[in-house]
Structure 1
Amino acid sequence: MSHAPLIIELFTEELPPKALKKFDQSFSENIQQSLNTQGLLDSSSVTTSYATPRRLAVHLSDVLTKAPNRQVKEKLLPVAIALDADGKATAPLLKKLAALGHPDISLDQLEKQGSDKAETFYLNVEVTGQTLAAGLQVALEQAIAKLPIPKLMRYQIAPGTAQVKDVEFVRPAHGLVAMHGTEIINIEALGLKAHNTTLGHRFLSKGTLTIKHADDYAKTLETSGKVIASYNNRLEKIRESLLKASNGHSVLMPESLLEEVCSLVEWPVIYTCEFEKEFLEVPQECLILTMQTNQKYFAMTDKNGKLVNQFLIVSNIETSTPEAIISGNERVVRPRLADAKFFYEQDRKKTLFERTALLSKVVYHNKLGTQLERTERVAKIAEVIGNELKKHQSSIDVSLAVRAAQLAKADLLTDMVGEFPELQGIMGRYYALNDKEHPDVAAACMEHYAPRFAGDALPVTDTGTILALADKLETLVGIWGIGLAPTGEKDPFALRRHALGICRILLEKKLPLNIRDVLQATIKQFSQEEVHQNSSVDVIHGFILDRLRAYLKDQQWDGKNYSTNEVESVVSQLPVVFGDVLERLKAVRLFSALDESTALAAANKRIGNILKKVDFPIPASVDNNLLTLDAEKSLAKALDQILPQVNQSFKNGQFTEALQAFATLRVEVDNFFNDVMVMDPDTKLRDNRLALLAKMHGLMNQVADIGKLAS
């Protein structure tokens, strides 16, 4: 079969910028998959996608003019169902054949397989390969139907003619290119017939562009049409051009903004603009956000991270006299910055503390009261956490955490946060500093939201750490308590993120905080009976442990991931203090490296299984007078010898030493299971041996359940 490159382009009016990247991927993938399924792609075929604000296109190399014939074997129906009493085809068989595209095939052309009672008809035919024109028509229709279009637009094509009809697509389509090598493929889509002409840049290119060969598509658009057709190439061009135009400054280039701008231009050109220095008196986060969100501009900072009064724009127009473009953008941004300056000045006329009373008018949740009530709960939880941590770190000032809790949500009532909700917490810090609050209180107003997302930094100050925990615990317990626990993929209140934040703070800051005690204290702060009924410590502790389990497995620690068994050995112990979990895991990994670990892990698992089956009380201690066999005497003696060392190591947090001490018991453990029958008919001997095993099991599992390491 002959083959050549293929290009397909849909030329449209401006596509939604936030959806263009998804359109690009979907359009190319679906056409490629459909053509490949139909056997129209050579094994060496390569797919290249293109997407600009006014077009979706895909180039495929090595596309066949006609797919090769192929043998198709399909199971039909049992003969007993396929034939009637007269031996003629039944309606179900005829329907099945029609569905497979072979309604006229005769019975003698069908194969029979199987025994007499289970004999089945099979269709075994050679299917003629699909032509490219027919296959591409199917592929294009499927690709259009599968585009993740947020909202369809209905429009008419060929207005003023007899061919007027309604079409639905994301935006009106005005052209279709379909070329196989130098040949135009005769297909249609959205009321358009395929041609070999398209349009270039709306302003920088004049007239139509003729695509002479499928391989010329991208080059023709770039050289003659002033269009960089590749989405990814255009994105990198923007990134590189911004850096070149930075004049030594750092350019703030969030990926989402780069992608949105890339979806707005076909020929990106960078220009430098300025704004008045007086606006730099406003917190730079406000200025940056208004430039990025409202204007799609790229702010710049100096080497110290301080905003400068210059910004970069990505224009769709290339000109040697850009003064009008620059002045126009400077004129547009000025009122935005002036608004931010006005909000900032107005907000500072009232302190955060003066605003707190107004939180009583802001509903947090109809079942959980107002933001003021929530603030009061968080303050009490922060006090509990602060007092507990102060036992281990005397420098902690609990009063600062309580004060921060009282002020942390007050910035929700400011004009600036009303305009830019993303600034909540950030503005709280600025306003608290303006009010001459303690620096740690101001920092906590911002830090208590941390971590906001996966990989985000944790709170830095003790006050911020305490408040972050209190705020997340209050949300988790309260929302869970009113019956809004996460289900499946639904988690509208981000309780999984809050739980993960709690895990990370406790784990990475190595806080000696008992999570169950704090959960119990949190539940007590709610007056709602529903919360007390639903938010049991056991349930929420289990939910938090699930997040801890996943986090420990997903992250790399010292350059390596912990295995499921290693993580489970620690988390299955239901830890209540997360501060030493990483040390326990490290000890488990080092223990696993010992030659004796495999046998000891298997023995520990065996002991656990034995003890689980016991449904009667086991003595609390071992009676040495009832040890009759040498193997059990040796194990008891060896246990007593390492007991002080293990307990002291565990007490000192030396988990590696505690676990590795058991390596000396390998021989005694093996001999015990080889020579001793635990479930002896003599109940006294049996119970004493169970007590010995329970003693060993408890001692071994102080750090982790090493039985989980056994495969």
Structure 2
Amino acid sequence: MSTRNLLVELFVEELPPKALKKLGEAFAGGIASSLAAQGLAESGAAFEAFASPRRLGVLVRSVRSQSADKAVSHKLMPVIVGLTPDGQPTPALVKKLQALGADAGAASKLRRAVDGKAEALFLDSTQQGVTLADGVQKALLDAIARLPIPKVMTYQLADGWTDVKFVRPAHALVALHGSDVVPLQALGLQAGRVTHGHRFEAKAQDVSIPDADSYAATLREQGAVIASFAERRAEIQKQLAAAAQAVGGGARPIEDEALLDEVTGLVERPNVLTCAFDKEFLQVPQECLILTMKANQKYFPLLDAAGKLTNRFLVVSNIRPQDPGAVIGGNERVVRPRLADAKFFFDQDRKKTLASRVPDLGKVVYHNKLGTQGERIERVRALAKVIGAQMGSDHLAHEADIAANLAKADLLTDMVGEFPELQGIMGGYYARHDGLGEDIAMAIEDHYRPRFAGDELPRNDLGIAVALADKMETLAGLFAIGQLPTGDKDPFALRRHALGVVRMLMERKLPLAINELVAQALGLFPQAAPETTSQLADFIDDRLAGLLREQGYSAQEVDAVLALKPQKLGDVAQRLAAVRVFAALPEAPALAAANKRIGNILKKAEETVQLQVKPALLREPAEQALHAAMRDVTPRAGQQFEAGDYTGSLQTLAALRAPVDKFFDDVMVNAEDADLRANRLGLLATLHGAMNRVADLSRLVVER
């Protein structure tokens, strides 16, 4: 059966730019997968997605005009139910056949086959293949129904009575199989071959598509539209780089994938233009200027070779006039009041010190069960002082108290009121203006870090202390009032806060015990229930385990190390590395299995096991040999462990494999003599403790 390429396009009013990429992928992928499921295209058939501000489309390769017929077998019922003793169909069988569209005469053609323990009746038939029109119609309607639409619109069709629900009003539907129109209907539209190009620069209002393969080229030539989202995005990147190079001086556009996607969703025919603003505005912190240009105007600010903001910016226009001067001038006029507002906010904010704003935080509600921001600051200060003292000195604790006290003061500034994304950053600028010193300014600026996965940590110890205190206060407070994340719902981003705590403790190798940190934080909240401590500790442990698995460690390796509940997370990476090296040793499987066996024996012991061995009670040669090996090996392994050489410690313990194997071959642990039994259990308990200082080696056993 011959195949041709299939094109489907919905022409609509301007789609939401931030959602366009996902809408285009979902529309194209939905149609392609549905066609494959119906047998009209091969599984995994190649397709190309199209998505512009005013269209969603897909070109699916090698689509059949009709899917192949296929044999279908329906199990009806057991023979004893469907046929009388003389072989006539029962009423139940007749009813079942009628439900399947067959008459009673089909009963004589039924196939009998054993099904389980009984013989059953089967109706074999041939199902006719799906026609192209029916299959594409189903695929289109299914794809429309499953689009990830941010907000559905309801609008009326031309008849004035019929309501349609879709992301935006749709005005045309194109469906071509090769050069033939596929008779589809959707959203009140009848499919044809006519679409529309660019609002202003198309050669004609209507653009007729001759065949599916020429869709993109025809739209580009006749409609002045780059239909492919990916192609349009690449074109914008290319033009941005060229415009920056033309400016010179190592200029480069700011990197922002989300902004690039959004702008790609705003234009059909991108044209990058270079604009400028007055250099006086560069006195304002560049974060403010960059944010207002990106968020409000969708511009690409230009940075110099050192990463500093220049007074040039790039605009992605949707038109290509012969003289772009009017477009450039218009954008320069539009951006000036935005930058002027930023300068005004910055100048006004510096008229008051951060310290003078702190009392007003007592008027700002943080949470109705946790009090005001002022009360919260006092809790963060208390925790920051404790952490600072544990990290270094009384001086660090004092500085942490000052920085924590001022950390939230910028929430009351005009700049942060206009741009909440700048909280912390503006606090750092205002702290420098107040003469508080670079360390405190950096700590205030960094105390929200890491803001997201992969974000940088605070740059100095003072910032780490305040950031840890801030995140732990948030976690403890919300856990204390029962606001735990559930499923995929985490409105207070507690998973992100916990991950930030884990990263700081691990990557900075801080001398802080996690359980002690949890207890100190929860101690600030008298309403916390006793079980909250274990809940919060387990929550942080889960984030740690997830992070380690993302870093490439196996579930077994992570489980083995975290089973010991290590308190200082700075050495977790070393423990994992040691476990990985140990697991590769030839002795590892036998020692891990023996370790698990020892653990089980100790758990089942009826008496209390003492961590001591009386050499005089070592009767069997195998237990004497194991004790002698332990006296030689475990002190060396212990010294290596204390020195932080976890890999060496586990490698040294590997020498115990042979005497351990011999012990289990020759010695009865649960001897009838109570003294012998207690001594052997003590020997095993001592061995168990020595073997499991780095990790729980029994977790490395591979279950078969």
Q: Give the TM interval when normalised to the shorter protein.
A: over 0.9
Contact 2:475–2:494, Cα closer than 8 Å, also in 1: yes
3-state SS in 2 of match to 1:565: helix
* Structure 2 residue 71 is matched with structure 1 residue 74: no
- CA change 1:626–1:231 in 2 (3 A) is same
- CA change 1:520–1:44 in 2 (3 A) is closer
* 1:49-448 map, 5 Å: 49-78=49-78, 87-90=89-92, 94=95, 98=99, 106-114=106-114, 118-159=118-159, 165-205=162-202, 206-246=204-244, 247=247, 248-390=250-392, 397-448=396-447
Correspondent of 1:677 among 668, 676, 684:
668
Q: Distance in 1 between matches of 2:103 and 2:211?
A: 41
Q: How far does the alpha carbon of each residue in 1:27-46 deviate from its partner, in whole angstroms, 9 at most, with x for none?
A: 11111122112111146842
Deviation of residue 157 (structure 1)?
A: 2.5
Q: Distance in 2 between matches of 1:491 and 1:96?
A: 53
* Structure 2 residue 671 is matched with structure 1 residue 694: no
Counterpart AA for 1:387 = A
Correspondent of 1:619 among 606, 610, 624:
610
Contact 1:601–1:706, Cα closer than 8 Å, also in 2: yes
Match of 1:37 in 2: 37
- CA change 1:573–1:221 in 2 (3 A) is same
* 1:634-673 map, 5 Å: 634-673=625-664
Deviates more, 1:657-666 or 1:214-223: 657-666
Q: Distance in 2 between matches of 1:26 and 1:652?
A: 56
Deviates more, 1:201-210 or 1:424-433: 201-210
Q: Distance in 1 between matches of 2:454 and 2:320?
A: 39
Percent of counterpart pairs with the same letter? 52
Q: How far does the alpha carbon of each residue in 1:592-620 deviate from its partner, in whole angstroms, 9 at most, with x for none?
A: 23222222222112111111212320123
What's the C-alpha RMSD, in Å, of the aligned pairs?
2.1
Counterpart AA for 2:676 = L
Match of 1:558 in 2: none
Counterpart AA for 2:615 = N
Counterpart AA for 1:384 = V
Match of 2:694 in 1: 703
Q: Distance in 2 between matches of 1:337 and 1:110?
A: 82
Match of 2:546 in 1: 550
* 1:489-504 map, 5 Å: 489-504=488-503
Match of 2:504 in 1: 505
Contact 1:482–1:534, Cα closer than 8 Å, also in 2: no
Contact 1:503–1:544, Cα closer than 8 Å, also in 2: yes
Q: How far does the alpha carbon of each residue in 1:246-270 deviate from its partner, in whole angstroms, 9 at most, with x for none?
A: 1231211311111111111110000
3-state SS in 2 of match to 1:403: helix
Q: Distance in 2 between matches of 1:226 and 1:104?
A: 63
* 1:548-627 map, 5 Å: 548-555=544-551, 561-627=552-618
Counterpart AA for 1:353 = A
Deviation of residue 589 (structure 1)?
A: 1.8
- Consecutive unaligned residues of structure 2, counting only runs of 5 or more, are none
Q: Distance in 2 between matches of 1:102 and 1:422?
A: 68
Counterpart AA for 1:128 = Q
Aligned length in residues: 695
Counterpart AA for 1:698 = G
- CA change 1:330–1:89 in 2 (3 A) is farther
Deviation of residue 115 (structure 1)?
A: 6.9
* 1:517-528 map, 5 Å: 517-526=516-525, 528=526
Contact 2:89–2:107, Cα closer than 8 Å, also in 1: no
* Structure 2 residue 26 is matched with structure 1 residue 26: yes
- CA change 1:89–1:352 in 2 (3 A) is farther
Q: Distance in 1 between matches of 2:355 and 2:389?
A: 24
Contact 1:384–1:518, Cα closer than 8 Å, also in 2: no
Contact 1:84–1:90, Cα closer than 8 Å, also in 2: no
Contact 1:39–1:68, Cα closer than 8 Å, also in 2: yes
Deviates more, 1:481-490 or 1:120-129: 120-129
- CA change 1:322–1:116 in 2 (3 A) is closer
Q: Distance in 1 between matches of 2:136 and 2:103?
A: 25
Q: Distance in 2 between matches of 1:19 and 1:46?
A: 24
Contact 1:44–1:62, Cα closer than 8 Å, also in 2: no
Q: How far does the alpha carbon of each residue in 1:471-510 deviate from its partner, in whole angstroms, 9 at most, with x for none?
A: 1111111101111112211211111111111111111111
Q: Distance in 1 between matches of 2:5 and 2:546?
A: 46
Match of 1:484 in 2: 483
3-state SS in 2 of match to 1:245: helix
Q: Distance in 1 between matches of 2:568 and 2:685?
A: 24
- CA change 1:103–1:440 in 2 (3 A) is farther
Contact 2:97–2:104, Cα closer than 8 Å, also in 1: no
Deviation of residue 582 (structure 1)?
A: 1.1
Counterpart AA for 1:9 = E
3-state SS in 2 of match to 1:203: coil
Deviation of residue 124 (structure 1)?
A: 1.8
Deviation of residue 190 (structure 1)?
A: 1.5
Q: Distance in 2 between matches of 1:679 and 1:116?
A: 50
Deviation of residue 642 (structure 1)?
A: 2.5
Q: Distance in 2 between matches of 1:285 and 1:103?
A: 77
Counterpart AA for 1:195 = G
Contact 1:78–1:119, Cα closer than 8 Å, also in 2: yes
Deviation of residue 563 (structure 1)?
A: 1.7
Q: How far does the alpha carbon of each residue in 1:608-645 deviate from its partner, in whole angstroms, 9 at most, with x for none?
A: 11112123201231111111011111111111122332
Counterpart AA for 1:651 = E
Counterpart AA for 1:563 = S
Counterpart AA for 1:46 = A
Contact 2:81–2:90, Cα closer than 8 Å, also in 1: no
What TM-score, normalized by structure 2, do the two folds share? 0.95
Q: Distance in 2 between matches of 1:101 and 1:446?
A: 73
Q: Distance in 1 between matches of 2:467 and 2:440?
A: 12
- CA change 1:101–1:282 in 2 (3 A) is farther
3-state SS in 2 of match to 1:34: helix
Q: Distance in 2 between matches of 1:647 and 1:142?
A: 65
Q: Distance in 1 between matches of 2:101 and 2:408?
A: 66
Q: Distance in 1 between matches of 2:30 and 2:446?
A: 45
- CA change 1:79–1:145 in 2 (3 A) is farther
3-state SS in 2 of match to 1:149: coil
Q: Distance in 2 between matches of 1:28 and 1:77?
A: 42
Contact 2:446–2:467, Cα closer than 8 Å, also in 1: yes
Q: Distance in 1 between matches of 2:576 and 2:696?
A: 11
Q: Distance in 2 between matches of 1:303 and 1:647?
A: 53
3-state SS in 1 of match to 2:316: strand
- CA change 1:250–1:571 in 2 (3 A) is same
Q: Distance in 1 between matches of 2:629 and 2:665?
A: 17
Counterpart AA for 1:607 = I
Q: How far does the alpha carbon of each residue in 1:400-425 deviate from its partner, in whole angstroms, 9 at most, with x for none?
A: 11111101011111111111111111
Q: Distance in 2 between matches of 1:252 and 1:104?
A: 75
- CA change 1:53–1:245 in 2 (3 A) is same
Q: Distance in 2 between matches of 1:81 and 1:628?
A: 75
